[in-house]
Structure 1
Amino acid sequence: MGASMTTVEPAETLRRLAHGATVGEALAFFDGLPAVEVPELFGSWRGGEVPTGNPMDGLLERFGWHGKRFDSADDVHPLVMDRPGGGQFSLHPGLVPLPALLPLLARRPGLVRHPALGRVARLLGPALGTRAPRARLRRTEYRGVVSATMCYDDLPIHDVFRRVDADTVLGAMDLRGLDAPFVFFLRRE
């Protein structure tokens, strides 16, 4: 009797990585996934992260990140946030000084992650909301594969997507100033 070979489904691998992984593990998983076509992303998605030790780990969740909404290739809401009293709003990414915060995140991550700052950000966040789309979807090449990519209008960020399954994608946030991408996932709502 020959040895049986066990294959692990991508969704199971993502469940494991969502509890924490090295950058190498997360990127090896990302690299093994198929490309995503732009229309596959249309709709609303709930987000989560793959903690890898990136300075961005835990930050979006602390500030109330819900996910992303892709109305069309040219109408994307990249930062859909939960309102403190219920419901969601789209945060205007250009009003978030993320590139300026990167050095602080790297040197003093605890300062930006203080619970009081998260509570204040959740309360003040709706004042930074927008109804206008603040990103677009395009196909770009990243790590040797052409796939759907969300390009922010106001920030030097590209979120590149690969398919885990029909209702789940893995994203790699390529942000100028970060040594490694922030890895996250989206599940279709």
Structure 2
Amino acid sequence: MVAETPVTGTAELAALQTGGCTAERAWALFDRLPGVRVAEVTTGRWRGEELDTGHPFDGMLVASGWYGKQFDGPDSVHPLLFADAAGAVFPVDPRRVPLSLAGKVPLSGVRMLRSILPVLGPALRTRKYTARLRDIEYRGEVGAAMVYDHLPIIDHFRRVDAHTLFGVMDLRGMTEPYFFVLRR
């Protein structure tokens, strides 16, 4: 009998991203992945991707121009980077993003808002860091978590491979998990 080759986190994540993913399948992968410590998180910009699990936020960030996150150090994090139509990337203050509208505004409305990002941009942008990284135990594993300064949000990360993090947003009052991927 030939031993089966174990599916790597990279391959399993790719399979989840092809569609038909559920929160249960995403949790199963998240819980199998190793934690990544703050000291191991590569600094710089990380490109974000959504993992469609049927969450009310699914599609909203991408439609709005979400680029990803930027880690410049444990106390120096831009949790939300957006890109305008010209591709210029800039940090946004999360307090200025109406999260309560997620799932209530159709994606066409969100795309329309993105088209006026050049007008809205100055009101949304920030130069200040609005989050920090801390090692936190979550679901039985200690790993890097991004703690927002002014909102009840903690994003927890697990390592998929040397260039990929799998994240889940923990937002107070949110009943369903919101999963995302960051790539360097």
Could you tell me whether the CA contact under 8 Å between 2:60 and 2:110 is conserved in 1?
Answer: no
C-alpha displacement at 1:112, in angstroms?
A: 7.5
CA distance in 1 between counterparts of 2:71 and 2:179 reads 19
CA distance in 1 between counterparts of 2:123 and 2:17 reads 31
Other-structure match for 1:128: 124
Cα offsets for 1:4-52 (capped at 9, x unmatched): 3132121111111123300000000000000011022222110101110
Which amino acid is 1:139 matched to? D
- Please report the TM-score for the alignment, with normalisation by the length of structure 1: 0.88
Equivalent residue runs for 1:1-189 within 5 Å: 2-20=1-19, 21-41=21-41, 42-98=43-99, 100-101=100-101, 105=103, 108=104, 110=106, 113-121=109-117, 123-188=119-184
Where structure 2 has 5 or more consecutive residues not aligned to the other structure, the ranges are: none
Could you tell me whether the CA contact under 8 Å between 1:45 and 1:186 is conserved in 2?
Answer: yes
Change (3 A) 1:112 1:101: farther
CA distance in 2 between counterparts of 1:162 and 1:39 reads 13
CA distance in 2 between counterparts of 1:19 and 1:118 reads 25
C-alpha displacement at 1:170, in angstroms?
A: 0.2
Number of residue equivalences: 182
Could you tell me whether the CA contact under 8 Å between 1:167 and 1:187 is conserved in 2?
Answer: yes
SS for the counterpart of 2:106 is: helix
Which amino acid is 2:29 matched to? F
After TM superposition, which residue ranges in structure 1, 4 or more long, deviate above 6 angstroms?
Answer: none
- Deviates most, 158-167 or 175-184: 175-184
Where structure 1 has 5 or more consecutive residues not aligned to the other structure, the ranges are: none
CA distance in 1 between counterparts of 2:59 and 2:84 reads 18
Change (3 A) 1:160 1:112: farther
Change (3 A) 1:40 1:114: same
Change (3 A) 1:33 1:113: farther
- Deviates most, 112-121 or 178-187: 112-121
Change (3 A) 1:113 1:176: farther
Cα offsets for 1:79-119 (capped at 9, x unmatched): 01112222210011111232x335xx2xx453775532342
Which amino acid is 2:64 matched to? F
Q: Indicate the percent of aligned positions where both proteins have the same amino acid.
A: 48
Which amino acid is 1:27 matched to? W
Could you tell me whether the CA contact under 8 Å between 1:64 and 1:122 is conserved in 2?
Answer: no
C-alpha displacement at 1:154, in angstroms?
A: 1.4
What's the C-alpha RMSD, in Å, of the aligned pairs? 1.8
Change (3 A) 1:51 1:126: farther
